[in-house]
Each structure stands twice: as C-alpha cells, then as structure tokens.
Amino acid sequence: MSDMYETNLDKNQANFTPLSPLSFLKRSAEVYPDRKSIVHGDRVYTWRETYERSIQLASALNKHGIKKGDTVSVLCFNTPEIYEAHFGVPMIGAVLNTINIRLDIDTISYILEHGESKALITDNELSPVVKKALEKLDKKILVIDVDDKLANHANGSGENLGQFNYENFIQEGDKNFEWDLPIDEWQSLALNYTSGTTGLPKGVVYHHRGSYLMALGSVTAFSMPMHPTYMWVVPMFHCNGWGNPYTLTALAGTSICLRYVSAKNLFDAIADHKVSHFGGAPIVLNFIAQATDEEKRDYSHKVNVVTAGAPPPAATLEAVQKMGFDVTHVYGLTETYGHISLCAWQDEWNELSVEEQSKLRSMQGVKFPMMDGLSVMNPETMQEVKNDGEEIGEIMIRGNCVMKGYLKNKEETEKAMSGGWFHSGDLAVMHPNGYIQIKDRSKDIIISGGENVSSVEIENTLYKHPSVLFAAVVAKPDEKWGETPCAFIELKDSNDKVSEKDIISFCKETLAGFKCPKKVVFTELPKTSTGKILKYELRESAKELA
Amino acid sequence: MSDMYETNLDKNQANFTPLSPLSFLKRSAEVYPDRKSIVHGDRVYTWRETYERSIQLASALNKHGIKKGDTVSVLCFNTPEIYEAHFGVPMIGAVLNTINIRLDIDTISYILEHGESKALITDNELSPVVKKALEKLDKKILVIDVDDKLANHANGSGENLGQFNYENFIQEGDKNFEWDLPIDEWQSLALNYTSGTTGLPKGVVYHHRGSYLMALGSVTAFSMPMHPTYMWVVPMFHCNGWGNPYTLTALAGTSICLRYVSAKNLFDAIADHKVSHFGGAPIVLNFIAQATDEEKRDYSHKVNVVTAGAPPPAATLEAVQKMGFDVTHVYGLTETYGHISLCAWQDEWNELSVEEQSKLRSMQGVKFPMMDGLSVMNPETMQEVKNDGEEIGEIMIRGNCVMKGYLKNKEETEKAMSGGWFHSGDLAVMHPNGYIQIKDRSKDIIISGGENVSSVEIENTLYKHPSVLFAAVVAKPDEKWGETPCAFIELKDSNDKVSEKDIISFCKETLAGFKCPKKVVFTELPKTSTGKILKYELRESAKELA
C-alpha cells in the first residue's frame, strides 16, 4: 500500500474496539432495560437485571480469586444461571467451560482436571454424579450450587456440594463492579469439550471475536428480527447453545428456559409465550410430530426452527411444516462454534413437491456469511471434489468461527487445521449448486438424541470386558434418537454364554447412559487382510437391524 | 492470561480471516447466483453477473496499472457502475473515492488532486463540470466514461472525456482474475470527502473491518431479513450509500437504481418492484407526503424507510406512516461510515398519540450494536452531561465504525479523536432513557436536501466580494429542503446598491448551486465585544424569516 493511506491513520481508542459478545449485553441493558430477557417458570428477568446479575457474578468470582485466563466450569440445565455465566465469567477475562450434564463421573472429573477449572457452578439435581467427580480431583475447587425449585429430585439428588448457593454467591458481588471488554479479541472466551476420534474428550477453545461474529452471522443468515422469543431446547452446554446466548442478547430477545424437554413443555411454551424461534436436534421435531392431542396446544403464529445433526426424515419434516414450523437445517461442529453451514432456501424450490423439498431441506448446504470457506476436498491432495453430487471427500472449513485450537494438544490442533483448513472428519459430496451433503462420518461419531457419542470410547470400554476379543461400535438408525450405538462383538471363546444384557450392564458401570450400546451383536467381525475391522460393512448390518 | 490459553492457539489460515465486505459478494454469487442483484431500467443483473462484472472491473484496472493503495474516484449517479466499483476497486486493494456529483469544478479538482486519484469513472451527464475539473489537474489520469442511456443530456452534456467507455473497459477484464481479501482488515477501503469546519473538504478514510461491521450491525438493528428489495435514493457517494452496497450484498437483496429522485419515480419503483426498504433524507418523505394523485400508485406492502439528517416534521411523519411507510430516524456522519445511532422503537410507545410518537421518532436515539460508545459530553472536561434532556454537550462516538482518520491531515485527525472519542461537532442533550437528541450543530453545517453545506465555505466566497465587510451564513429552516443557506452581510459602505440577486450570482460563479445562499440579508452583524459574530442570534433571525 502506498504511504498515503498508512500515515497517521492508526488504531486508537476512538476508532478501534475489540469484538466481544459482551458488548451486546451492555447495549441491550442500556437500550432495553425493562424488556424481558429470561423467563424460567415464575422467574422473570429484564435486561437490566440480567446485566446486573452477570456483573454480580463477575464481581463475586473476582472476590474469590478467579482471574483472567482461569477456567470456570458450569454443569447446568437450561436455567438463567448458565445464561448469566456466559457473560459473568468472561467479564473478568475468565474462560467459560460448560459441561454436558449427561456425562459420567470419570469424564466430568477428566474435564475439570484437564481444563484446570478453578470453580464449578453446578445444579444440585446432578449432585450424585458431580459429588463423585469432585472427589476424584486432586485439588478442592470453588463450588457454587444452583438450587432450582423446578428441579426433579426423585432420584435422591439435591445435595448441595459447595461452599455457596448461587443466589447467595452473586449477592456478594457488586452491581457497580467495573468490568471491561478484552484488550485482544483473540482472547479465550469458552472451552467446550468434544468427543473426537479418541475416547478422551478434547478441549475446544473459542475466542471473543468468533462468538461475536457467530452472533451477527446467525442474525443475518436466519433473517432474525429484533426481539425474537426463543425457546431453549438446545442445551447451552452444546457449543454455547450454538452461540445463542450472544445472538439473543444482540437482538434483545426473550429466552424461555426449558429445564426438561417434552412434547407438552414444548407446546406449552409455544402457546403461552408465543415462541418465535428455537433450535434443537431432529429428535425434538419427532416429539412435535408425534405429540398426542392432550400434549398439543392451539397457537396461530409461525415458529422458526433450526435443526442440526442427522437430517430429519421427510415425513417428520412434512408433518411439522403443516403444524406451522418452518425448519432450517444447519451443520457444524463443536470446533466451529456450532452451525457454520445452512441449507439456504431458494425461491424456485417453492414450486417443488413436499417430498422433493424435504430432500433438499436435509442437505447441509452453504456457508454462513461470517465464514470464509466451506468445501469438500480430498484430504490427501486438498483438491476440491467435483460438484457432481457423487465424488466423496471430507468437509473442510475455514473462517473466523473455527476454534483457536484444542487445549494443551498441539498435535491434534495442527492435524485438525493442516493445509489451512479445518478438517471436519465428515464425508460429503458437493452438488452442482454448491450445496454440500454429508454421506458418512469418518470420525466414528454416533449422534444420539443430539449428543455426540464416540464409538471409540465405547469400544475401549468393551475391550475391558474379559470375554471380548474384538469390538466395533457403529451407529444404528433409530426413529426416536436419530442414531443409537450398536456394538458388534467377537468373543474370545465362541461358546461363552455372555449375553447382550451383560455387556450393556458392564458398560453402564463406567459410561453415561446415552453412550451405552442399545444393541449388541455377537459375531465374527469382518476384517481386511491386515486385520483392520471393516466398519463400513457393520454399518450396513446395523442399518438392516434398524 | 495464563499460559494454558496462549500456547499453540495462534491464528492460522483455517481460523482467521480478515473482515472485509468483499467476502459478502463472493458468498452471494456462490449461494444465489441467479437471484436479481441490480435493476436499472431494463438492465437487470444477477449476483453471478454483478460478481463477474466487479471482477472484470478489478482486472481491467489492474491491467491499466492501478494497484494496492491507489485511489480510484467515481462520479456517478445511482447506477450499476458505482455499485460494482464498491467491489471492483477494493478487490485489487485500491481505495474507492466516490465524489458528490453536485460539487463544483474547483472542489472536484481539489478532491482528485488531494486524494491523488489514479483513475476516474464518471457519468457523461456530468461532462461539462468534470471536463473543466480534469483540465485543472497537473497530471492526466485514466478516465472511464459511463454512458447511461437513461441519462438526461438536455443541458448539453454527454461528452465522453476519457480513454474508455465503462462497458468496453470492463470487457478488457478477465472474469477469472484472481483477487483476494486484504491481508489486514485495517486496510483502507474508501475515501470520502466531507465539508467540515473549514471550507476545504477533508478526506475521511474507511477500512474493510469497519464496512464489514457496518453491514452486519445495520442488518441487526434494522431487523433486515434476507433478500430485501432496496430502492436507491441515498446517493452511493454519501458515506458509500451509508454502507448499503455491502449490507445488501450480505443479504443478497435486490437494488432498484433510481437515477433521478421524484415522487413519480419513487412510487413507480415501490409499486413495480415491491420495494421493501429504502433510505433517504427527510426531503424524500416530503416528496411522498405531498405527491399528487397522478404521481401516487397503488401498493399493499409495508415500506421500511431510514431517514437521516434533520428530523422530519411531525405532520410529514404522520402522513407517510398512514401511507404504509415505517420510518426509522438515524444519525451519523461521514466520519462514522454513516448511521451509528438510531431511534430504536420501544413497545410502550405504541400506546402514545401520533404526535408524541413523532416527537420521540425525531430523536437521534441510541448506538448501533456494532458501536462501542455514544455519549454527550462536555468537550473540555470529557465528562458526560446529566441525562436530564436539558444539559447540552457534544455528541461523542467510539467504535469500529469511526474512520481511520483524515487523509494527510494529522492535526485534524488528532483533534477529532482527542480523549479517545470522535468529536462529532454536534450539540445535543441526553434524555433520561439514554436517547440523545441534537440541539444545535457546532460545526456550522447546513443540511440542505440531505447535502452537507459548510457555512464557512460560503462565507469565504462572500468575503471575496468587493462590497462585503462581514459575512455570516446560517441555516434557514425550509419546508422543502429541510434547511437552506441564509447569508447575513454587513457592507463596507451602507449606501452600496448591491442586491440579493448580485450576491447570489456572485456565489454561483464558483460554488455548486446547492451551496449558494437562497436568502441574503443586509444588516449590521451582532458581535461580541471582541468582535466575534454572534451566529446564535442570526440563527434566530433566520428562523423568523422562514
């Protein structure tokens, strides 16, 4: 560039501000102080209150020694506390680590250890598991209990494990605590663990810049207007609820919390609160399509639904469209802050049959506006596949909503981003119109009820069983859950009387319930001449079993 | 921050892309290749075509030696060429300098000289003025003529001044020319000259980051859905049409070009193209409110209007609201990429009378989501005024949509951004709800028909008249134009027979028509004991004359 445009035209305080989604909360509290921010049962907050409670959380954490670069973990249902943590934790430069509440003791304690958590905010409905996870830690950490009166303690939960109750804790915080945006927009904002190719979860690190752009890019591509009413079905522990705590704050929308997802709860929220938007795994569409007349409620408005994961069956899509739900299919990974592609609707599709529309609607589609690249490539050559809907390659992603990397895992980080693209591990084709469509996942991930399950993790468990010689776990298509884990086992002694039930019970001892195989098949496993198990054949068998 | 979140989590090609509005064009061409991008009379382009033509422009400029950091000027009506230049010029790292087509010979040649333009794309309806402006330049530059068949050559214009006709020029360009995003998002994108406190216009420099965020922030605050139909009333030479070439491209919207703005043209476009959005100076609302039955057309959809500048009168607002126009009032300056505050609507205002609503609607309001700060301060102490709607201070602005600075003017740049805020020069109050409202402009700017006119520039001209002793120019409220320049003149000899007509003719010799006083008053000017002219008193007199 010529000197003319370089001289004396530098960044200064007036013309440069680091991008951070925290800025949205300040603005919404200033511009819409009395608008409803969050509704949870009879708890109703305004933006002024959500801002104040977030600042108080930041201040209280600060008083208890949490500082910039520290990790604060959260194990919560979709309640106001986890929403507030999305702001209160990074307000002091700390990093928010939301954890899947369905994980088992070992995985939770692994995450707390690996992420070096300094504090944990935990719902006391989870106390039986969390108590044991905390006991496994070498060091005692600050624990803050969320005691939600809507919790179900039928399983004997409800024990407070920490030094503080959340409400008392934030009361310690100062409403006038001075917080600031990060100096560097690349600063870490969140740490989200994902099941990858290995059994051990990897810590995916997000930055402020990425979450800011995720929010504005979502608003744009989804045509989201100001002040939507959003129903919380997607857990906020999944990719930070796909970034929606930030998106909704930018729009000063109203969050309707759903602690438990059921057809009745969904319809009640839609009818009572005039829900305009929500996101969820395809299984949620099944709830809706198959709801009984007692569960259904009358409403007359359109509901915009974003669904991620395995594409919902055409029949389900058709049924919910008729009920006033407008479904957009998206794709993304924990490593990409959630959705980075969507099946953008084309006007000319309006002319097609519902069946053809459903087929189109199930494609993973095109990149979001905040992304730089979405392609399908041969991972060896990094050449794009032909856009013929036939040639299979790996989905490659680049742009500002790709993670900083995996925490303390240089090798996997470099591998995942080699050649200047993030390697998704998902196999897909590209259609002539540039839309991508997933054909298979190379990463051995099973998506059950919206949860990622690593087949390798289950296999590792199975191999610990004394009777198992070889084990391979693949996805079995399932009407309710989308997919469930299906285990194929070759026994050391083919006369061994070990049963399906024995194997499942064995898994339940150490794995979270949703990770346990729902089906076990005893058989000689198909293998290559070099002994590699042919998972492709097993997937075909699992499909036939479905 | 702790080391843990710093190690091996750096930027790389996969997870970092410089923000640039050019990325929106690539995406819209890929995702919506066959959707209408621009309509100008019977010229209709698709996104594929707009992308190709922009690339061809970039390639042709490149072939003719234009390179990164060079300035390319544009003097065009709202036609496809200026839209394409918003992409084609920065695609090669050059800087787009759109010039107000109503400027006079001297100012145009000053801008071309000061901005060191290497090329000029100019509509041949402007040939009489542009020819003389080019003759004044020391060096010959590349000139490309736009020969629009919708042009009006009644004034004898239409002479082609350059080496190329635009269409032939871009045909030289290669559709497969490889362009790239800037490596640094701080790279200069545009150069827009503004009339400031002095007669000489200042060159305001924008960067790619700012224009990218302007687009997504506008989408968010205006609740703009995908695929709006936008009518081009705001000239694209005004703050890059407030950033809308970029906003519309992010949304894959359709631009309806209006070469000439009249009530008939407005209604025809609204009815024929189902215009959903447009922006314009308040004078455009007057056109609409006062349209005759012959000019009006039937349509049944809502039209969203953004209006900037002096707030429209309540009666006008009421009239256009009744006609299906939903008006949002915004505020901004050339130095802030256009609008950075808007009068965000509050639900409880729905209960108020139309008169009270109009009063609220005329406030300058609150910051956009992409901005960091909007405040009213005492410029000496940099302390915020009380939010009592009474205490007057200067509007201060900070955030990513504040200019890089003034080109080759370190002193003014530092002055404008002293204390970490951009000093708008506009005087305002802050209401208890945090909304700001302009009370006066300290910069001596008159906004006539949406054009900024510097009173100092007119005064400088008046002082050249042999009979003038003192001259002061202020805004006179005007029903049609919003404001017009009103000159108060103290003659050297009070018996001098110089007339109002003489003075106006004298101004017309060197000033653009819209800058010439519409009213001249001969009087002894009110002054302080130290001889400073009391402009405040003259403004009161001008109001009484209106």
The pLDDT tens digits of the residues spanning B122-173 come to 999 999 999 999 999 999 999 999 999 999 998 889 999 999 999 999 999 9
| Spatial separation of the C-alpha atoms in residues A386 and A52, rounded to whole Å | 53
Q: What is the pLDDT of residue A200?
A: 82
Helices A22-31 and A208-221, axial angle in degrees (round to 10):
60
Rg, chain B, Cα only: 24
Residues A486/A503, Cβ–Cβ less than 8 Å: no
Residue A351 lies in a domain: no
When CB atoms are compared, the residue of B7, B31, B366 closest to A344 is B31
Which residues contact residue A493 at a Cβ distance below 8 angstroms, ignoring those fewer than 6 apart? A467
Best mutation target among B5, B20, B410, B423 (most A Cβ atoms within 10 Å) is B5
- B299, B300, B304, B309: CA torsion to nearest 10: 50
CB contact under 8 A, B31 and A116: no
- Chain A residues with CB under 8 Å of B7 CB are 408, 410
Best mutation target among A8, A10, A15, A333 (most B Cβ atoms within 10 Å) is A15
- pLDDT average per 10 residues of sequence, chain A (546 residues): 80 97 98 98 98 98 98 98 98 98 94 98 97 96 98 93 97 97 97 74 97 98 98 96 98 97 95 96 85 94 89 78 92 96 95 85 93 95 94 94 97 95 92 90 74 81 88 89 92 90 93 92 82 80 88
Q: What is the pLDDT of residue A1?
A: 45
Q: What is the pLDDT of residue A2?
A: 54
Higher-confidence residue: B304 or A2?
B304
- Chain A residues with CB under 8 Å of B113 CB are none
CB contact under 8 A, A31 and B417: no
| Spatial separation of the C-alpha atoms in residues B121 and B74, rounded to whole Å | 5
- Chain A residues with CB under 8 Å of B405 CB are 8-10, 15
Residue B98 lies in a domain: yes
Report the percentage of chain B scoring pLDDT > 90.
Answer: 75
The pLDDT tens digits of the residues spanning B180-212 come to 999 999 999 999 998 654 568 999 999 999 999
Give me the number of domains chain B comprises.
Answer: 2
CB contact under 8 A, B347 and A35: yes
CB contact under 8 A, B17 and A413: no
- Judged against a pLDDT cut of 70, whether residue B1 lies above it is answered with no
| Spatial separation of the C-alpha atoms in residues A286 and A284, rounded to whole Å | 5
What single-letter amino acid sits at A532?
Answer: K
CB contact under 8 A, A346 and B32: yes
Q: What is the pLDDT of residue B314?
A: 73
| Residue A26: closest CA among A57, A7, A4, A47 | A47
Alpha helices, DSSP H, located in B164-281: 166-171, 208-221, 239-242, 244-250, 263-273
- Chain B residues with CB under 8 Å of A4 CB are 69, 116, 407-408
Cα separation values, B290 from B328, B352, B502, B545, Å? 19, 25, 33, 23
Cα separation values, B542 from B81, B151, B478, Å? 41, 37, 10
Q: What is the pLDDT of residue B13?
A: 96
Residue B523 lies in a domain: yes
Strand-pair category, A422-430 with A164-165: unpaired
The pLDDT tens digits of the residues spanning B65-96 come to 999 999 999 999 999 999 999 999 999 999 99
Residue B63 lies in a domain: yes
Residue B440 lies in a domain: no
Helices A22-31 and A80-91, axial angle in degrees (round to 10):
110
| Spatial separation of the C-alpha atoms in residues A514 and A102, rounded to whole Å | 8
Chain A residue whose CA is closest to B249: A369
| Spatial separation of the C-alpha atoms in residues B515 and A24, rounded to whole Å | 41
When CB atoms are compared, the residue of B4, B14, B95 closest to A116 is B4
Instruction: Give the A:B interface size as CB pairs under 8 Å.
Output: 187
What single-letter amino acid sits at B125?
Answer: E
Structure tokens at B34: 């066959």
CB contact under 8 A, A397 and B14: yes
CB contact under 8 A, B400 and A19: yes
Q: Which of B119, B147, B181 is the endpoint of a domain?
A: B181
Residues A488/A471, Cβ–Cβ less than 8 Å: yes
Cα separation values, B359 from B235, B325, B329, B447, Å? 27, 17, 11, 20
| Residue A1: closest CA among B302, B93, B28 | B93
CB contact under 8 A, A226 and B226: no
CB contact under 8 A, B93 and A1: yes
Q: List b or e across A41-68, with b for residues whose CB sees 16 or more CB atoms inside 10 angstroms.
A: eeeebbbbbbbbbbbbbbbbbbebebeb
Show the beta-strand stretches assigned E in B262-392.
277-280, 303-308, 325-333, 338-342, 366-367, 371-378, 383-384
Kindly state the average pLDDT of the residues B445-461: 82
What single-letter amino acid sits at B361?
Answer: R
| Residue B284: closest CA among B265, B297, B300, B257 | B265
Which residues contact residue B350 at a Cβ distance below 8 angstroms, ignoring those fewer than 6 apart? none
Residues B447/B482, Cβ–Cβ less than 8 Å: yes
The domain of B465 spans: 445-545
Distance from CA of A157 to the nearest CA of B (A): 34
Return the ∠ at Cα B412 (arms to B408 and B418), rounded to 5°. Answer: 130
CB contact under 8 A, A14 and B397: yes
**Cα torsion angle, B377, B382, B383, B384, sign:** positive
| Spatial separation of the C-alpha atoms in residues A115 and A518, rounded to whole Å | 31
Q: Which of B181, B216, B241 is the endpoint of a domain?
A: B181
CB contact under 8 A, A31 and B434: yes
Contacts by A500-506, CB closer than 8 A, 24 or more apart: A503/A462, A503/A465, A506/A461, A506/A462, A506/A465
The pLDDT tens digits of the residues spanning B272-286 come to 999 999 998 878 888
Its ipTM equals 0.88
Residue A76: give its domain's CATH number: 3.40.50.980
Q: Which of A149, A181, A213 is the endpoint of a domain?
A: A181
What single-letter amino acid sits at B369?
Answer: P
Which residues contact residue A544 at a Cβ distance below 8 angstroms, ignoring those fewer than 6 apart? none
Cα separation values, B62 from B48, B89, B179, B210, Å? 21, 9, 10, 25
Query: Is residue B414 within a helix (H) or strand (E), and if so which, with residue range?
Result: helix B410-416
Residue B259 lies in a domain: no
pTM of structure: 0.88
- Chain B residues with CB under 8 Å of A375 CB are none
| Spatial separation of the C-alpha atoms in residues B459 and B472, rounded to whole Å | 6
Query: By mean pLDDT, which of B297-301, B307-311, B485-489 is the weakest?
Result: B307-311
Distance from CA of B460 to the nearest CA of A (A): 29
Helices B22-31 and B208-221, axial angle in degrees (round to 10):
60
DSSP B78: S
The pLDDT tens digits of the residues spanning B338-348 come to 999 999 999 99
Residue B346 lies in a domain: no
Residues A38/A80, Cβ–Cβ less than 8 Å: yes
- Judged against a pLDDT cut of 90, whether residue B371 lies above it is answered with yes
CB contact under 8 A, A95 and B5: yes
Distance from CA of B215 to the nearest CA of A (A): 10
Residue B315 lies in a domain: no
What values do phi and psi take at B53, rounded to 5? -65, -35
- Report how far Cα B495 is from the mean position of its chain's Cα atoms: 43
- Chain B residues with CB under 8 Å of A366 CB are 27, 30-31
3-class DSSP state of B250: helix
| Spatial separation of the C-alpha atoms in residues A288 and A299, rounded to whole Å | 14
What values do phi and psi take at A115, rounded to 5? -80, -5
What single-letter amino acid sits at B24?
Answer: F
CB contact under 8 A, B69 and A14: no
- Judged against a pLDDT cut of 90, whether residue B380 lies above it is answered with no
Q: What is the pLDDT of residue A438?
A: 86
Residue B514: give its domain's CATH number: 3.30.300.30
Q: Which residue(s) pair with B44 in the sheet?
A: B39
- Chain B residues with CB under 8 Å of A5 CB are 69, 95, 187-188, 205, 407
Structure tokens at B457: 């520039």
Name the one residue in this structure whose structure tokens are 């693209």.
A421
